[in-house]
């Protein structure tokens, strides 16, 4: 068989470009799609000495719980920042709308206080894995109401497998704010009273989604390859053989390993299983049954390919 | 000789189109789990202007909300190993007792919360603080109901109570449920009783003892998954049996490759069992009637083939027929 050198060159270029794209795509996606921070929580929009850093530090999808961390960063007449918290110059008490825990962030004059964790409810489920998303939120209220201009700065901590996009929301009904107030004005008005409401939308990292999709494609390619082999055997182009059966069984076994390798270990019975994993298992087993049938019924079973002299 | 069959291209297209159509249908319409509740349970307590002004639970507070405690249950997960349904319970005080928030509530007057759940203690909510959330762990079954997986069915009731700390008298209460689905489960909440006219379909428990019933069973998707996985096991068994029958009759020779295939299939079946949704423990009914028999028979077929390979003279013989 003679291959045209120009055609071969084109193929080489196409394969090289494809491989390059394959390697670059996840890096590009991961660097372009980053968790977003509300403009009022990035630390640039507002100034105050009564400053706290807030972040989501843990996501527990199985138990529907997220952990929010609050770190004091007091300055001026409120305190002095230390490496992991602050030395406090005033009594501070902030009620935290947490599901469990102390339910407040407090410090007394002269106290060195570090970061504190609060557990909050996480709503959502993993049915649409890897495109599953969750919602969570927290409310903060200064119980003394004298510490005006609460400043919150969101810190993005690494959440294995997840990213969280934050959004500040007004605390009260629209009719309780001056008419024609913008969203930012409402939230700043709340912060000046020592009140804040933050919501997060939690999604899987693009890298994890990419990995899950790649594994799904790998499963589909494996199924496609096995379909081609079985089709060739069925049509008589190749003989049915025990080796083909063993190959199909090895593929079947590999499917479970690929399923177990999915990032975030989704529970069995998700949509991914229903439309990818289970149908592929059925296809592989059906092919195995077909090859068994042909191996028994046909005369060319295990026939070797002997070159003609 | 077995007739060679040529699949026409349009046949292949039809098969693939059908598979894609089924996948799209499942992607759109299939649900991994559902949670439902009656109208009394799924709506939250509302405090519209004037709504409660004629109610016995209203004492002219700022904000127009009645003086009661709302219990908000959010389904969280099912702990199958412990046979427990876990709900997150948020105590949301109203009117005189406080203000409801997203994960808790701000308390204005001290009150206590009791719950007939596993390992819970009386919770005291003090003024000026947020209410404490509780993990409501309801025992699903004290008997081995999981034995009937995936047809296991559970039912129960959660009783909640709020008590005023000072007067020690019960606080009127109401229950709401967050419609959050649990993967692989069909969960249903319902309350019995007549709603108050002012409450917009909410049932107020004046004696303070709020009750909500629940029913739990496997979601339809679990049945689909189990049927598929059992079908897999049966195909493997029938294939193994057909091959062994062919060898025992002398139609085909015993071979080492076949023994390898049987061993691989045996491992694959164990993997299939490990992938049952919800990871039920070994020893359930489906194991006794499907999994263990399939494994045992495949093992027996392996032993039979080993025997044929050792005893017969045509072991690993090649096909020399000219086709």
**Which ipTM score applies to this complex?**
0.73
Residue B17's pLDDT band (boundaries 50, 70, 90)?
confident
> How many residues belong to chain B?
323
Query: Is residue B290 domain-shared with residue B183, that is, in the same domain?
Result: no
Please count the other Cβ atoms lying within 10 Å of the Cβ belonging to residue A148: 12
Is A117 in contact with A67 (CB distance < 8 Å)? Answer: yes
Nearest CA in chain B to A290: B239
Left if phi > 0, otherwise alpha if psi is -120 to 50, otherwise beta: which for A302? Answer: left
Q: Please tell me whether residues B54 and B169 are part of one structural domain.
A: yes
Whether B8 is in a domain gets the answer no
Return d(Cα B32, Cα B219) in angstroms, integer: 7
Cβ-Cβ contacts under 8 Å for B16 (sequence gap 6 or more): none
pLDDT score for B1: 43
H/E stretch holding B85: strand B84-93
pLDDT surpassing 60 at residue B7: no
Nearest to A288 by CA among A214, A226, A232: A226
Task: Supply the pLDDT for residue A165.
Answer: 95
Mean pLDDT over residues A239-249, rounded?
Answer: 88
Q: Considering only CA atoms, which of B217, B213, B76, B77 is closest in space to residue B145?
A: B217
pLDDT of residue A23: 82
Instruction: Answer whether residue B120 shows pLDDT above 80.
Output: no
Q: Strand B105-107 and strand B111-115: pairing? A: unpaired
Rounded mean pLDDT, A238-251:
88
Which chain B residues are within 8 Å of A138, Cβ to Cβ?
Answer: 102-103
Is B318 inside any structural domain?
A: no
Cβ–Cβ contact A173 with B under 8 A: no
- pLDDT above 70: percentage of residues in chain A: 97
Identify which of A283, A218, A269 has the alpha carbon closest to the alpha carbon of residue B275.
A269
* Res B190 pLDDT > 60: yes
B206 and B227 inside one domain: no
Task: Tell whether B13 is covered by a domain.
Answer: no
User: Among B58, B320, B83, B310, which Cα is nearest to B197's?
Assistant: B58
**Interchain CB contact of B251 with A (< 8 Å):** yes
Q: Which residues pair with A166 in a beta bridge?
A: A200
Structure-block tokens of residue A191: 């912060």
The CA distance from A275 to A288, in Å, is 20
pTM (2 d.p.): 0.80
- B231 and chain A: CB distance < 8 Å anywhere? yes
B159 shares its domain with B270: no
pLDDT higher at B62 or B143: B143
Q: Is residue B25 part of a domain?
A: no
* % chain B with pLDDT above 70: 90
Nearest to B101 by CA among A164, A169, A182: A169
User: Is A278 part of the contact surface with chain B (CB cutoff 8 Å)?
Assistant: yes
pLDDT of residue A164: 95
Greatest Cα pair distance in chain A: 100
The shortest C-alpha distance from B180 to chain A (Å) reads 7
B321 contacts: CB under 8 Å, gap ≥ 6 = A299, A300, A303
Show which of residues 101-120 on chain A sit within 8 Å of chain B, judged by CB atoms.
103-104, 119-120
Query: Does residue A174 surpass a pLDDT of 60?
Result: yes
Could B102 and A269 be called an inter-chain contact, meaning their C-beta atoms sit closer than 8 Å? no
Q: What is the mean pLDDT of residues A32-59?
A: 89
Pick from B218, B243, B265: which residue ends a domain? Answer: B218
The CA-atom distances, in angstroms, between A3 and each of A10, A14, B208 are: 12, 16, 86
Q: Is the CB of residue B239 less than 8 Å away from at least one CB of chain A?
A: yes
pLDDT band at residue A22 using 50, 70 and 90 as cut-offs: confident
Residues B200 and B249 in one domain: no
Could you report the per-residue pLDDT of B45-80, keeping only the tens digit for each?
888 887 887 888 877 666 688 899 999 999 999 988
pLDDT single digits (tens) A204-231: 998 899 889 999 999 999 989 999 999 9
What value, to the nearest 5°, has the Cα angle with vertex A201 and ends A198 and A204? 145
Query: Could you identify the residue written with the tokens 């076949």?
Result: B258
Domain contains B200: yes
Same-domain check for residues B255 and B139: no
Per-residue pLDDT, B3:
46
Give me the domain span that covers residue B237: 222-311
Where a domain ends, among B172, B194, B218?
A: B218
pLDDT of residue A148: 65
Please report which confidence band the pLDDT of residue B241 belongs to, taking 50, 70 and 90 as the band edges. very high
Helices (H), chain A: 5-32, 183-192, 206-234, 242-260, 271-272, 278-297
Question: What is the residue extent of each domain of chain A?
Answer: 35-204, 208-297
Query: Looking at residues A67-77, what average pLDDT do you find?
Result: 92
* Distance from the B159 Cα atom to the nearest Cα atom in chain A, whole angstroms: 20
Domain for residue B261, yes or no? yes
In a domain, B323, yes or no: no
What is the pLDDT at residue A146? 62
Among candidate residues A208, A221, A28, the one with its CA nearest the CA of residue A129:
A208
Asked if pLDDT for residue B123 goes beyond 50, the answer is yes
Q: What is the mean pLDDT of residues B14-32?
A: 71
Mean pLDDT of the A129-149 span: 85
Residues B199 and B233 both lie in one domain: no
Residues B41 and B90 in one domain: yes
Share of chain A above pLDDT 90, in %: 37
Same domain, B157 and B286: no
Q: What is the pLDDT of residue B184?
A: 87
pLDDT at residue number B310:
93
The pLDDT of A17-38, averaged and rounded, is 84
Averaged pLDDT of chain B: 86
pLDDT computed for residue B159 by the predictor? 93
* B91: nearest Cα among B131, B120, B54: B131
State the pLDDT confidence band at A185, using cuts at 50, 70 and 90.
Answer: very high
Task: Say what the pLDDT of residue B304 is.
Answer: 94
Does the residue B234 lie in any domain? yes
Same domain, B190 and B235: no
Question: What does the pLDDT read at residue A170?
Answer: 93
Whether the Cβ atoms of residue B33 and residue B219 lie closer than 8 Å to each other: yes
Instruction: Give the pLDDT confidence of B302-316 residue by residue, as tens digits.
Output: 999 999 999 998 888
Domain final residue, candidates B201, B218, B235: B218
| Among B282, B4, B319, B313, residue whose Cα is nearest residue B146 | B282
On whether both B233 and B280 belong to a single domain, the answer is yes
């Amino acid at each position: 068989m003679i291959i045209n050198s120009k055609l071969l060159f084109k193929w080489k270029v196409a394969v090289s470009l494809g491989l390059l794209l394959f390697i670059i795509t996840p890096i590009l996606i991961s660097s372009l799609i980053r968790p977003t921070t509300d403009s009022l929580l990035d630390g640039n929009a507002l100034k105050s000495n009564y400053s706290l850093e807030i972040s989501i530090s843990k996501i527990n999808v199985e138990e529907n719980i997220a952990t929010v961390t609050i770190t004091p960063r007091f300055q001026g007449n409120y305190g002095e920042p230390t490496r992991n918290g602050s030395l406090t110059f005033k009594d501070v008490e902030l009620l935290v709308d947490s599901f469990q825990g102390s339910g407040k962030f407090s410090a007394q004059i002269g106290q060195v206080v570090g970061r504190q964790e609060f557990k909050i409810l996480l709503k959502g489920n993993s049915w649409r894995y890897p495109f599953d998303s969750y919602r969570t939120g927290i409310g903060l209220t200064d119980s003394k109401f004298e510490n005006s201009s609460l400043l919150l700065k969101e810190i993005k901590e690494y959440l294995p497998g997840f990213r969280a996009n934050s959004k500040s929301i007004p605390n009260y009904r629209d009719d309780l704010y001056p008419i024609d107030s913008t969203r930012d004005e409402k939230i700043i008005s709340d912060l000046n009273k020592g009140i804040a409401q933050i919501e997060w939308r939690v999604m899987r990292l693009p890298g994890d989604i990419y990995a899950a999709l790649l594994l799904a494609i790998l499963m589909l390619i494996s199924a496609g390859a096995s379909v081609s082999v079985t089709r060739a055997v069925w049509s008589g182009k190749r003989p049915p053989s025990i080796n083909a059966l063993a190959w199909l069984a090895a593929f079947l076994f590999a499917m479970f390993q690929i399923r177990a390798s999915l990032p975030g270990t989704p529970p069995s019975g998700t949509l991914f299983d229903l439309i990818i994993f289970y149908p592929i298992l059925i296809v592989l087993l059906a092919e195995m049954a077909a090859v068994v049938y042909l191996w028994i019924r046909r005369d060319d079973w295990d026939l070797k390919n002997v070159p003609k002299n | 000789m077995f007739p060679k069959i040529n699949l026409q291209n349009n046949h292949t297209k039809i098969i693939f189109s059908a598979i894609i159509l089924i996948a799209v249908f499942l992607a759109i319409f299939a649900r991994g789990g559902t949670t439902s509740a009656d109208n009394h349970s799924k709506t939250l307590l509302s405090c519209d202007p004037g709504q409660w002004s004629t109610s016995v639970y209203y004492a002219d507070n700022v904000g127009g909300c009645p003086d009661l405690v709302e219990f908000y249950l959010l389904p969280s997960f099912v702990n199958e190993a412990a046979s427990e349904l876990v709900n997150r319970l948020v105590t949301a005080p109203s009117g005189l007792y406080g203000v409801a928030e997203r994960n808790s509530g701000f308390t204005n007057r001290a009150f206590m919360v009791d719950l007939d759940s596993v390992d819970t203690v009386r919770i005291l909510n003090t003024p000026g603080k947020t209410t404490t959330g509780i993990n409501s762990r309801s025992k699903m079954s004290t008997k081995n109901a999981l034995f009937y997986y995936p047809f296991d069915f559970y039912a129960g009731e959660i009783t909640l109570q709020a008590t005023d700390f000072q007067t020690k008298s019960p606080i009127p209460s109401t229950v709401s449920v967050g419609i959050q689905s649990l993967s692989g489960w069909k969960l249903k909440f319902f309350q019995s009783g007549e709603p108050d006219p002012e409450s917009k379909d909410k049932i107020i428990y004046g004696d303070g003892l709020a009750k909500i019933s629940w029913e739990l069973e496997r979601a339809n998707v679990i049945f689909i998954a189990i049927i598929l996985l059992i079908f897999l096991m049966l195909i493997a068994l029938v294939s193994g049996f057909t091959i062994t029958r062919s060898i025992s009759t002398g139609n085909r020779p015993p071979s080492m490759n076949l023994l390898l295939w049987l061993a691989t299939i045996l491992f694959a079946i164990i993997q299939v069992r490990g992938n049952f949704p919800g990871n039920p423990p070994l020893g359930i009914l489906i194991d006794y009637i499907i999994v263990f028999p399939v494994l045992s028979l495949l093992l027996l077929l392996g032993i039979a083939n080993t025997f044929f390979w050792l005893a017969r003279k045509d072991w690993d013989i090649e096909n020399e027929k000219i086709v």
